[in-house]
Structure 1
Amino acid sequence: MSELLAVSAESESWVESAQSLAAELSLPFIGAVPATDVDTYRQVLEVGETLQLRATGRKAAGPVWVDFVGGAVAHRRKFGGGKGQQIAKAVGIRSGLYPQVVDATAGLGRDAFVLATLGCEVTMLERNPVVRVLLMDGLRRLRRAAESDPELAAIAARLTLLDSALPAAQWLAAQPPQSVPVVYLDPMFPQREKSAKVKKEMAAFHQLVGADEDADALYEPAYAACYFRTVVKRPRTAPFLAGRQPSLSLQGKSGRFDVYTRHGMNRDALSGRLNPADKLNPAEPE
């Protein structure tokens, strides 16, 4: 059986960088080899101008990477519906109210980026080291593009990725009680084997990351850490996280946002005595 993952270089000019990343992640380095020519690993993390997770073999699906500048995210940033989007309603965004959010299961950062485009300061946490370096690469390219684009510069300034490999539940448990305005959770849910909606490349990504079997353990520390609310993104027919009935649910065609409220959200609470950014504890507990 093929091993799961190795690091490769897009070309000879990227070999040194790829070797460094392989050492950092404790993964084998296989050289500047096209993913289509690899048969000993199911996926490669290809280092180049863009860091990409690629399935191997000649019939492999397309690559997965983090893109905060072009493609679908750019279209959604410009035409996605603004504050009328369900995610905006779920975290409590409205005119003059832009709560700070901790996205404790950031994944590829798409929801975090949407929230940042809408005006929220978002702190991302991602425990999977491969996904975390993909996020770091996406942020690097966003900040490079932001040098000549004031709109992107403002968005980039609102996005932070913590350098922590802690599981979300453990990190949240280390925060002072009610110190995070909004906790956002999108734990990986087991994919239906025959779901036509899951693109091949994302199916490969899910294979690498796996389902968050410990997702239910997120509820207690998340709700304890939040001041205003905890928001949980779920597939439409999925059970409630930890079996807890939410305060309200916002339903969509294929998913929903379950909202667990603690305190009402208003301008005084956002700008007054509560200063959650000062209370966040980015350090790993001893």
Structure 2
Amino acid sequence: MIATPPATFVQSVSASLAVTWLSAEHQQAAEHLANRLNIPAVPPEQSTTELLLQLADDGLSLRSTEAGAPGAVRVDFVEGALAHRRQYGGGAGQMVARAVGLRGSIRPSVLDATAGLGRDAFVLAALGCEVMMIERQPVIAALLADGLSRALQAGGEVAEIAARMRLTEADAIEAMRDWAGPVPQVIHLDPMFPHRDKSALVKKEMRLFRPLAGDDLDAPKLLSEALGLASHRVAVKRPRKAPVIDGPEPNAKLQGQSSRYDIYGLRKLG
């Protein structure tokens, strides 16, 4: 289920951006998306922007036009890395699954309040959780909505997983503050960390998204609202050596090779 109402940018964007299409059959959809995002729609041969949202037969992608830029980013739940992770990723033993409290038959309802490209949400949904997602950056939300739509159309197991994922484009702090739906048992947070080391920008997603999304300097407010909403637990994903977010101390931590989870336990899941 995808709930992405018409919206314009509510955050500053430091890179120029446009929507384009690779064939005439995608032009109308590209122009509709451009209108919703309040950015230009241009034929590919006429684009002079730094970033391009591109509609093609394989869905929506985001790419940089600068020389030597990394490849395009798109959300693909059907094939590729996420398909491999779904089949061979370690099941409930994965760190994100342990962080939100999956064990035995326990499958809590989860709100992923910083959904991004939906990878963690997809893993949790594949393991049987109902996952609500919030993404506040309109371009990232559009990529995620496109990937969900294609997953639902694919049918089979992937469509069943995607049906357990619901996306809303909104500011997570405001959405949690004004929450009116079922209370999530667990809230998953993965705020954008303010990296200063250039080596931290190796991932192409980070290089493309940082000009759009910036850093989550309001992470303490995000954590505060999450702690006020979740019924059982808040799990915060952080770079392994990053400081704890300002606020209460976590009850527990899970350490991985490059990241960790700070866990704020409120009630026992069971």
Q: TM-score, normalised by structure 2?
A: 0.89
Give the aligned residue type for 2:231.
Y
What is the CA distance between 1:205 and its match in structure 2? Answer: 2.2
Secondary structure of the residue aligned to 1:125 is strand
Secondary structure of the residue aligned to 1:102 is strand
- Could you tell me whether the CA contact under 8 Å between 1:15 and 1:32 is conserved in 2? no
1:249 to 248, 253, 265: 253
Per the alignment, residue 218 of structure 2 pairs with: 214
- Could you tell me whether the CA contact under 8 Å between 1:106 and 1:112 is conserved in 2? yes
Question: What is the CA deviation profile of residues 161-206 of structure 1, one whole-angstrom value per residue up to 9, with x for unaligned ones?
Answer: 12x42x2111111126992200111111123432167224531222
C-alpha change, 1:201 and 1:94, in structure 2 (3 Å) is: closer
C-alpha change, 1:186 and 1:3, in structure 2 (3 Å) is: closer
Give the aligned residue type for 2:105.
G
What is the CA distance between 1:45 and its match in structure 2? Answer: 0.5
Mark the runs of 5 or more structure 2 residues left unpaired by the alignment.
1-13
2:167 to 149, 161, 164: 161
Secondary structure of the residue aligned to 2:206 is helix
Mark the runs of 5 or more structure 1 residues left unpaired by the alignment.
267-286
Correspondence 1:32-51 to 2 at 5 A: 32-33=44-45, 38=47, 40-49=48-57, 50-51=59-60
Runs of 4+ in 1 over 3 A off after TM superposition: none
Q: Distance in 2 between matches of 1:153 and 1:204?
A: 28
Per the alignment, residue 19 of structure 1 pairs with: 31
Q: Distance in 1 between matches of 2:227 and 2:101?
A: 16
- Could you tell me whether the CA contact under 8 Å between 2:77 and 2:158 is conserved in 1? no
Per the alignment, residue 94 of structure 1 pairs with: 103
For the pair 1:80 / 2:89, whether they are aligned, the reply is yes
Q: Distance in 1 between matches of 2:187 and 2:266?
A: 11
- Could you tell me whether the CA contact under 8 Å between 1:105 and 1:187 is conserved in 2? yes
- Could you tell me whether the CA contact under 8 Å between 1:86 and 1:250 is conserved in 2? yes
- Could you tell me whether the CA contact under 8 Å between 2:153 and 2:159 is conserved in 1? no
Correspondence 1:191-206 to 2 at 5 A: 191-195=195-199, 198-206=202-210
TM-align CA RMSD:
1.9
Secondary structure of the residue aligned to 2:117 is coil
2:129 to 98, 120, 130: 120
Secondary structure of the residue aligned to 1:53 is strand
Q: TM-score, normalised by structure 1?
A: 0.84
Q: Distance in 1 between matches of 2:123 and 2:161?
A: 9
Q: Once the two structures are aligned, what percentage of the paired residues are identical?
A: 48
Larger of the two Rg values belongs to structure:
1
What is the CA distance between 1:3 and its match in structure 2? Answer: 5.3
